[in-house]
Amino acid sequence: MEVELAEVRDFLADHAPFELLPAAELSALPRRCTIRYARRGSVVLEVGDRGDGLYLVRSGAVEVRDETGELVDRVGTGEAFGMSSLLEHRPTRYRCTAVEDTLLLVLEPSAFEELTHAHPDVATFYATTHHARLSRAIGNLQRATSGSTALGTRVGDLVTREPVTTTPTASVRDAAAAMADAGVSCILVVEHLALVGIVTDRDLRNRVLAADLPPDRPVRSVMTPDPVILSADALAFEALLEMVSRDIHHLPVVDDTGRPAGLVTTTDLVRLENANPVYLAAAIGGQTSLADVVAEAPGIHAVLGQLVERDVSAADISRVATALGDAVRRRVVALVEEELVAEGLGPAPVPYSWVVLGSAARDEEGFTADQDHAIVLGAEPDATGAAWFAALADRVTVVLEQCGWPRCPGDVMATNPQWRLTVPQWRALLADWSREPRPDAVLHTAVFHDMRHLAGDRELTEQVHLASVSTASPRLLGHLSRQALSMRPPLGFFRGFVLERHGEHRDTLDIKRPISAVVQLARIHALRSGSPALSTRRRLAAAATAGTIDRDTATELTDALELMSYLRLHHQAAQARSGLTPDNFLRPADLTQRQRRHLRDAFEIVRSAQQSLSSHLPPGFE
Partner 1 sequence: MSQLELLALDLETTGLDPRTDHVLSLGWVPVVRGQVLLAEAHEHRVRPPEGVEVGSSATLHRLTDDALADAAPLTEVLPLLLDALRGRVLLAHHAALEVDFVGAATATAYDARPPLTVVDTLAVEHRLRADVNGEVHGSLRLDAARRAHGLPGYAAHHALTDALAAAELLLAQVADLERRLGREVLLRDLRPRRSG
Which of the ranges 57-65, 263-271, 323-331, 614-622 carries the binding residues for partner 1, by CB under 8 A?
Answer: 57-65
The type of residue at 485 is L
Quote the CA–CA distance of 222 and 398 in Å, as a whole number.
Answer: 44
* Region label for 354, one of left (φ > 0), alpha (ψ between -120 and 50) or beta (otherwise): beta
- Residue 33 vs 561, nearer CB to partner 1: 33
Q: Quick one: CA dihedral 52, 56, 59, 65, positive or negative?
A: positive
Q: Does residue 101 belong to the site contacting partner 1 (CB under 8 A)? A: yes
Q: Quick one: CA dihedral 267, 269, 272, 277, positive or negative?
A: negative
- Residue 39 vs 587, nearer CB to partner 1: 39
Q: How far is the CB of 81 from partner 1 (least distance, A)?
A: 17
Quote the CA–CA distance of 216 and 136 in Å, as a whole number.
Answer: 62
Q: Could you tell me which residues come within 8 angstroms of residue 115 by beta carbon, excluding any fewer than 6 positions away?
A: 21, 25, 29, 107, 122
Q: Does residue 97 belong to the site contacting partner 1 (CB under 8 A)? A: no
Which helix (H) or strand (E) segment is 129 a member of?
A: helix 120-143
Q: Does residue 79 belong to the site contacting partner 1 (CB under 8 A)? A: no
Q: How far is the CB of 32 from partner 1 (least distance, A)?
A: 7
Q: Does residue 103 belong to the site contacting partner 1 (CB under 8 A)? A: yes
Query: SS3 string of 299-323?
Result: HHHHHHHHHHHCCCCHHHHHHHHHH
Which of the ranges 100-108, 117-125, 133-141, 431-439 carries the binding residues for partner 1, by CB under 8 A?
Answer: 100-108
Q: How far is the CB of 100 from partner 1 (least distance, A)?
A: 8
Q: How far is the CB of 2 from partner 1 (least distance, A)?
A: 9
Which of the ranges 30-38, 377-385, 420-428, 556-564 carries the binding residues for partner 1, by CB under 8 A?
Answer: 30-38
**207: closest CA among 226, 227, 228, 221?**
221
Q: How far is the CB of 129 from partner 1 (least distance, A)?
A: 22
Q: Do 246 and 192 touch, CB atoms closer than 8 A?
A: no
Q: How far is the CB of 91 from partner 1 (least distance, A)?
A: 21
Which of the ranges 96-104, 114-122, 168-176, 350-358 carries the binding residues for partner 1, by CB under 8 A?
Answer: 96-104
- Residue 60 vs 252, nearer CB to partner 1: 60
Near partner 1 by CB under 8 A: residue from 16, 20, 35, 387:
35
- Give the length of the chain: 622
Which helix (H) or strand (E) segment is 510 a member of?
A: strand 509-510
Q: How far is the CB of 9 from partner 1 (least distance, A)?
A: 10
Near partner 1 by CB under 8 A: residue from 17, 18, 27, 38:
38
Q: How far is the CB of 28 from partner 1 (least distance, A)?
A: 11
Task: Report the relative pairing of strands 250-254 and 230-231 from DSSP bridges.
Answer: parallel
- CA-based end-to-end distance of the chain: 70
Which of the ranges 4-12, 266-274, 447-455, 554-562 carries the binding residues for partner 1, by CB under 8 A?
Answer: 4-12
Task: Report the relative pairing of strands 80-81 and 102-107 from DSSP bridges.
Answer: unpaired
The type of residue at 341 is V
Q: Does residue 18 belong to the site contacting partner 1 (CB under 8 A)? A: no
Q: Does residue 5 belong to the site contacting partner 1 (CB under 8 A)? A: yes
Give the interface with partner 1 as residue ranges (CB under 8 A). 1, 3-8, 11, 30-39, 58-60, 100-101, 103, 106
